[in-house]
Amino acid sequence: MVADGYRPDRFDIIGAAICLSGVAVIMYAPAATDPSLTAACWRLLKPRFGCGEPHRRAAQPGHAHHSTEASGHPPRGLRSSRGRPSLGDRPARRIDRLPKKCARQHCDRWKRACGEMRVRPGSTVRRFLASDPAPGVALVAATVAALVWINSPAADAYTTLWDTAVGPASAGMHLDLRHWVNDALMTVFFFVIGLELKQELVDGELAHPRAAALPVLAAVGGALVPAVVFLMVTFGTPAARGWGVPMATDPAFAVGVLALVARRVPPGVRLLLLAIATVDDVLAVLVIAAGYSGALSWPWLAAAVGGCLLVVVLRRLGVSAIWPYLPVGAAVWYATLQSGAHATLAGVALALLTPAGSTGGRDVLAVLLRRLAPVSAFLAVPVFALANAGVPLSADSATAAFADRVTWAILAGLLFGKFAGITGTITLVTRTGLGHLPSGVTSRHVAGLGLLGALGFTVALFVTELAYTEAGLTDHAKIGILAASVIAAAAAALVLTRTPQEPTASPAATGDDTPGTGRTRTEAA
């Protein structure tokens, strides 16, 4: 029945046509229906006719229809809660009239789409962007694009683009686009790294001293040993200034490779890798501050510290909105840039000042991570790779690079130094009882972690730009970083894919019937 005074508009007619077409597809082509299409029809039905999902409608008091979950059939009719017309009270198509195979597929797909699916299925692109490999894939795609561009007939356009200077000269900010990416856009990357460190320190692998000992010491070993190896190879040459290049690990690249080549590794491997990479990157920030900052301007540095203190005051006042912190953060970044220290240090400092708990009923740390992590992964890091990974590759350039000591120093530091530093430190820490490996992690997983640690791609390129001003050294160092990344990824894939999967004990055998806690119900209670 149509409500009194109701006159359907064109949007109602179009919506009804789309919905009825979708219902017809569901009813008359069950073998070809996808669950996402079924749920999409429900999403169209709900806003236009006020009807919710069947499993929620069936739970309402006084509802005459049986539950979809109980019967496996679509509801007989869909009534509007706002007086708008429904699809009527026509009986649902009788499944017993379908062939047995089609009827079974019909019921199963309807249940999955409308009865048991509590979260609306996203698009394929959205699901991919939320997956672990996505940031690494975006980084690799940007790197390949930069290499193809610089080695194509349009190479001059690449150089001209990133050498274009923009910004107000009177404010000391007339920088080329590459410096804007390195000094401004990468601040977002280091800000997210700082937020992840803060989260790990408060409620993560680094929250408990005994649990934090293993990843922290492994990160320190994985940073110091490569630097020592690099200096041993380049001692007495101008290339020695790049001792910080092989120290850090790229978390996006490493986690992406781990997800692509070894999806069935224990969860502890991923957690340990993230903790090591996070501490590694913080150590890289300290290296940048200590070894690659220019002459410091103390008045500007004091202004940056004053801005950080203002952030603390806003926190004490209980300001939970994000917008008041934006101008203060911009001022801290500008003062840090003018002070001679690298501007990205402001990102880490502001991240560590972010409140970790609830402020004014709002979890600011979680909100910032949720909003800025995609910006860092899919904008800041790929654009950085596009701007900095462009290296001319030819037989002559490869011969010159591998004749230079800096290339071999980076290869040795990343491939040998990282592997020896991480695996050696983990072995030492576990045997002395200072820490223990997560459940299910074996020595072969540790070897894979040591190889994944050699993927220092983003931060290694970043430090290369800071360490060297000579074009030849910079290009040779980048070739060494690219070669080490390819070799490390291939070696990690070989080790982790050949690692036998540990059998998982059933809850009945272990007494663990509380999912996700590792404890029994009695212990949890």
Question: In the predicted model, what is the mean pLDDT of the chain?
Answer: 75
pLDDT at residue 310 in the model: 93
- Cβ pair 183, 387 in contact under 8 A: no
| pLDDT top residue among 147 and 281 | 147
- Stretch among 78-92, 378-392, 441-455 having the lowest mean pLDDT: 78-92
**Residue 146: CB atoms within 10 Å:** 20
Q: Is the pLDDT of residue 222 over 90?
A: yes
Task: Give the domain ranges of the chain.
Answer: 127-293+342-497
SS3 175: strand
Q: Could you identify the residue written with the tokens 């999403």?
A: 43
pLDDT at residue 31 in the model: 36
- Cβ pair 113, 353 in contact under 8 A: no
The pairing of beta strand 175-176 with beta strand 165-166 = antiparallel
Q: Is the pLDDT of residue 72 over 50?
A: no
pLDDT at residue 217 in the model: 93
Please tell me the distance from the alpha carbon of residue 367 to that of residue 361, in angstroms, as a whole number: 12
pLDDT (mean) for 97-111: 45
Please tell me the distance from the alpha carbon of residue 26 to that of residue 41, in angstroms, as a whole number: 9
pLDDT at residue 142 in the model: 92
pLDDT-based confidence at residue 308 (cuts at 50, 70, 90) = very high
| pLDDT top residue among 402 and 90 | 402
Q: Is the pLDDT of residue 124 over 60?
A: yes
Q: What percent of the chain has pLDDT over 70?
A: 71
Of 223, 235, 214, 287, the residue nearest 456 (C-alpha): 223
pLDDT in tens, 432-453: 988 888 888 888 899 999 999 9
User: Domain spanning 127-293+342-497 has what CATH number?
Assistant: 1.20.1530.10
pLDDT at residue 422 in the model: 95
pLDDT-based confidence at residue 263 (cuts at 50, 70, 90) = low
pLDDT at residue 70 in the model: 43
pLDDT at residue 417 in the model: 94
pLDDT at residue 501 in the model: 61
pLDDT (mean) for 217-236: 93
* pTM exceeding 0.85: no
Q: Is the pLDDT of residue 207 over 80?
A: no
pLDDT-based confidence at residue 97 (cuts at 50, 70, 90) = very low
- Stretch among 108-112, 198-202, 221-225 having the lowest mean pLDDT: 108-112
Q: What percent of the chain has pLDDT over 90?
A: 31
Greatest mean pLDDT among 198-212, 312-326, 359-373, 400-414 lies in: 400-414
Q: Is the pLDDT of residue 86 over 60?
A: no
Residue 429 burial (C-beta neighbours within 10 Å; 0-12, 13-18, 19+): buried
pLDDT (mean) for 375-402: 90
pLDDT at residue 123 in the model: 63
pLDDT (mean) for 276-302: 84
For the CA atoms of 100, 101, 102, 105, what is the dihedral angle to 10 degrees?
120
pLDDT-based confidence at residue 268 (cuts at 50, 70, 90) = confident
pLDDT at residue 289 in the model: 83
Q: Is the pLDDT of residue 524 over 50?
A: no
pLDDT at residue 486 in the model: 92
Q: What is the CA radius of gyration of the chain?
A: 29
Please tell me the distance from the alpha carbon of residue 213 to that of residue 327, in angstroms, as a whole number: 37
- Cβ pair 389, 146 in contact under 8 A: yes
Of 391, 415, 376, 423, the residue nearest 281 (C-alpha): 376
pLDDT (mean) for 91-116: 44
